[in-house]
Amino acid sequence: MKIENRSLSVTSEELTKLTRFFQNTFGNTSLAIKPRPRITDSAELYAGDEFLGIVTRIEDEGEISYDLSMSILDIDLED
């Protein structure tokens, strides 16, 4: 059986809910979800002006979830 994953547009209401979720979860009010230019199935996570990652909206069998993808450069791990 093939499971179909579909990515759909992130709404402004979802952007607000996701921003509150990240702020509450990490205790950081500088976190914000912003829409992406020309791409509607995902949004960008920022801490202030610093880009942190991409949040993608996924709908599968009527259930909606969000996937956070964050790249960490090796130079960011240096002391």
- What's the pTM value of the predicted model, to 2 decimals? 0.81
Does residue 48 surpass a pLDDT of 80? yes
Q: pLDDT tens digits, residue range 63-76?
A: 999 999 999 999 98
Does residue 27 surpass a pLDDT of 70? yes
Residues 66 and 19 sit within 8 Å (Cβ to Cβ): no
Question: According to the model, what pLDDT value does residue 79 have?
Answer: 74
